[in-house]
Amino acid sequence: MWGRALFARRRLSLVVVLLLTLLVPLAARPGSAAAARNQFFPQTGHNITDPFLRFYEQSGGLTLFGLPLTEAFNEGALTIQYFERARLEWHTNYPVGRQIEIGQVGRELAATRVDEAPFRRLAVPTGVGTFFPETGHSLRGGFADYWRANGDLTVFGYPLSEEFAETLPGATPLTVQYFERARLELPTPSRVGLGLLGAQSFRQRAYPLALLAPASALPAPTPRALTIPVLEYHDVGFGVGTYQVTLPAFRAQLDWLQANGYTAVTLTDVYAYMFEGGDLPPKPVVITFDDGRASQWNAVQELNARGMKGVFFILGGGNALSDGQVRQIIAQGHEIESHTMSHPQLSRLSDAQLVYELVRSKQLLEAKYGVPIRYLAYPYGDYDNRVINATIAAGYDGALAAWGGGSWTPQKRWQEPRIIITGFATIGEFAGLVRGATR
């Protein structure tokens, strides 16, 4: 979409005028009532705001992208932000969870150099390493190790050149290799790192330099506590027990919630209220289900019949609910989140097992269902400080215990309480539990 003609000098003034009319600071966007989560970087004087901030935090942050060079700004239908090493792009027309993309700055810069020897596409592999027929280039040695260890195709894309020696302006010669979204560099005798391709792309596209001017820190919302009933169910319509609520009882409970003015919200709504200045309706309630049990399909029908949303904590390693059912649950507006891979007692696992249960379940569910997995419910409500730290490192936004009442606080972000609803609760007892956790 951005032709090479764009970079021609004679077009520059036109481009600048065009861009200035399109540049609308994100903070000034109408309709964004709630303050978004934000982090200010005094080193360059720029803010990173959600959803870029979330992507930045979860995809490599400072190491891969560097500092923000600009605020986020609109360019046509896209919202983009420049970083030292990358350009992030917000595609609102893409599926939720995949809307932020790393711009193909490497491809844009390589486009002007296709005739140079290192960029010429090879028909057959030469020598060692992995050959990528998609682009006709190979990858080997330290660059290959770095590429694999830091996000491979997703983050860097395919190689667009071979390794070669390049002298960049104002620098000593480097060994470099270009990729669709990055340039890997090996300054001898140092370690492999990433080139400042974001900065280079910014210059190549000849944006107004005013975009680089330091901005002031955007206000970040103050985290706030709330009292909310977060109900926890297991089987619905499969006998009576601690983990089994009958269908008539479940219906009566949903009807009671509706008759008493409660609105079922998602965990994303609640965490946004706590940390991002988001709004909640009066009398919010969260209705959660653990384990991906087959009988929860009954609960889905009852929720749908009343226009209520549920949150389903399912396993990465397989559920009694079928894939098709999970997809319908998502399509019907309910939320799915992680309950680990295999439902272990997390505090008893080795560090490596812990990473597998937390990271793999998140990645696998996101890849399989195409939605972000942001929250975790600890199986058996079992967690300790090590588990919490691993949960944070795995990229979750919050985690839930299995009991503890209705007092949610920012300090308890990784162990927010729930209220278990057993099959033995009368409707009066149910009402008491819910009222007891309502502001």
Please, what is the minimum distance in Å from the beta carbon of residue 121 to Zn ion?
Answer: 52
Minimum gap (Å) between residue 378 Cβ and Zn ion: 9
Query: To the nearest whole angstrom, how small is the minimum distance from the Cβ of residue 164 to Zn ion?
Result: 54
Range 231-290, binding Zn ion (CB under 5 A): 290
Rounded to whole angstroms, how far apart are CA atoms 429 and 166? 73
Binding Zn ion (rule: CB under 5 A), the pick from 103, 379, 395, 423 is: 379
Can you tell me the distance from the alpha carbon of 304 to that of 192, in angstroms, rounded to the nearest whole number? Answer: 53
Comparing CB distances to Zn ion, the nearer of 88 and 377 is: 377
| Min separation Cβ 364 and Zn ion, Å | 17
Count of residues in contact with Zn ion, rule CB under 5 A: 3
Q: Which is nearer to Zn ion, 275 or 313 (CB)?
A: 313
Residue 414 identity: W
Using the rule CB under 5 A, which residue among 163, 291, 366, 397 binds Zn ion?
291
- Please report, to the nearest 10 degrees, the dihedral formed by the alpha carbons of residues 246, 252, 257, 258 taken in order: 130
Q: How far is the CB of 423 from Zn ion (least distance, A)?
A: 16
Determine if the peptide bond prior to 189 is cis (ω within 30°). yes
Stretch that binds Zn ion, among 42-50, 86-94, 169-177, 378-386 (CB under 5 A): 378-386
Write the Ramachandran bin of 75: left for phi over 0, alpha for psi from -120 to 50, otherwise beta: beta
DSSP string, 213-242: S--PPPPPPPP--EE--EEEE-EESS-SBT
> Closest residue to Zn ion, Cβ-based?
290
CA angle 360, 102, 171 (to 5 degrees): 115
**Minimum CB separation from Zn ion for residue 385, in Å?**
21
310 touches Zn ion (CB under 5 A): no
- The Cα-based distances of 361 to 357, 365, 368, 373, 376 in angstroms read 6, 6, 10, 9, 10
Is 104 or 319 the residue whose CB approaches Zn ion more closely? 319
d(Cα 195, Cα 105) in Å, to the nearest integer? Answer: 11
- Interacting residues with Zn ion (CB under 5 A): 290-291, 379
